[in-house]
Structure 1
Amino acid sequence: MHIFGFDSYGGPDVAGVLDVPAPVPVDGSVLIETVVTTVNPADIKVRNGDRQGKFPVTFPMAMGREAAGRVITSTDPAFRPGDVVFGGTLAGTGSFAPRVLLDASQTAAVPVGVPAAEAASVPVAAGTAWDILHELRADGLPDGGRVLVLGAGGGVGHCAVQLARHLGHPVTGVAGAAKQEFLGRLDAAWAPTVTDAATVGPVDAVIDLVGGPVLQDALALVAGTPAPVRSVAEPAVGGGVTRRRTRAVFTELADLIAADAFHPVISALFPFRDAAAAVAAVESGHATGKTAVLFP
């Protein structure tokens, strides 16, 4: 079986097409024929070796950690062969492969009418955004409070914008000028910098996907004390996010997609043969929304 993956840690040059044995189902797994997977910045950090000790890797390792496809066999009786499902990969395995092992506890059915690529965007990007918003509300984000999203045009960011709006929160999104129109379509106020965001007015919470001086500048805009801030980029500064990677949460998000409450935006779709280009597009740091890889 051909995968797009890596057999050592490093930069883009260590990744490529590798020939590996087909995956064998184990307890707690769902084996799928892959329809689509997505690229996340975290996938690149895993390949680089930045997540050693935090994310299990078994070489040779396919890139990617989420996918949607048709069930081949399942050790969980909730799924039958032929069911269309999505979910997160089993620990130590990846998703840039024609056959993928999903973690059964993180696997859910794709609702009728929901595109597979949108469902495949739930476990990492949409799920992270949803968990952040739940934590911010627990931290004291008031009903109707304004949320500032740093890095609002990316995978997690654009989901956070939409899900915050779904919960009744106005949003100011900080992103480059190329993403101004995109954020406008998502009903967010756009700002190219945190300084510009200040002209919109005080905010009640910050979702940070950028870190560094941008996060430090944003902290000054938060009205509450202590400030409800969650940072994926710098959890030590803004507080991280506790992920709830469960079937119930993923089903909830898929149902929101089916109800048109939000939609992961697939801005670029690459065939599997161009997986390297898909990863490079995300690694550039300028990708809008989600980048997906489609299998034949």
Structure 2
Amino acid sequence: MTAAAAAREAVAAPSPPLTQRRIRPGEILFRLALQLCLLIAFAFLVALVVFAVYKGWNRLDARLWQQMPTGRASRVESAGVQSAITGTLWVIALTALISLPTGIASAIYMEEYADNTRWYNRLLELNIQNLAGVPSIVFGILGLGLIARVIGLGFTVITAAIVLSLLVLPTVIIASREALRAVPQSIRQASYALGATRWQTTARQVLPAAIPGMATGAILALSRALGEAAPLILLGAVTFIRFNPDSLLSTYTTLPIQIYNLIKEPQAEFQELAAAAIVLLLGILLLMNSAAIVIRNKFQKRW
């Protein structure tokens, strides 16, 4: 038998059946532990939402966003949280205008242009990583001492927006850098091979491919800013406000602060209003996260 015939017979011979991978008991226990942890976390979330909806069901109507808050128990039945909703929208919109362009531009520089062998770029990256873990109350103290008093902006909307922008800026930068890193190098190399400059490659090829990850990180960062209360307590948001802000230098309040003020009151009517405001805040957070998912899916289909 020649070598060629032997090779043909070896190829034609049926291969031995694949033995099934043995499932180890430790692997099963680990998988069950992970599922149990997920179930516990989900159960707590569902319990929180159900309790808030049950507690504030009677106040989940148009009064919630059409009426101003009150400090009198006799008028709480007709009160709402309109000033807190408007203040929240002002603060979050300004926070997005400040933090998103700055964070994305910083990520583009550090990922596409910066020389990592330079000491100042390494120092910048180290500071960004450290700032991501700084407690929010520290940013509130910084805003109180520097922005509100030294610069003189006072307890206004723009002060709150600047402080919250500083708070979420490291998150935006880190998420944007991860999104840029996820873009395959072959896209950049193909663009350079066709004669495109670095900026043309970044703007027309890399950024569109990184938008899903950037959008997700940006929405999650703004969601954190939306739920923050600790730094805003130091910046005057705890003041009782019965009017909507109309400029960057207006005094303000936000939904987390308004909920904090309502919870402190002993009357059951205030507790119901606080529960309804909690449901409204959770609804806004859900809409923001849903928007991130829609944006991510839309751009992923293109790439």
TM-score of the aligned structures, taking structure 2 as reference length? 0.24
More strand by share: 1
More helix by share: 2
Higher normalized contact order (CA 8 Å, seq sep 6+, divided by chain length): 2
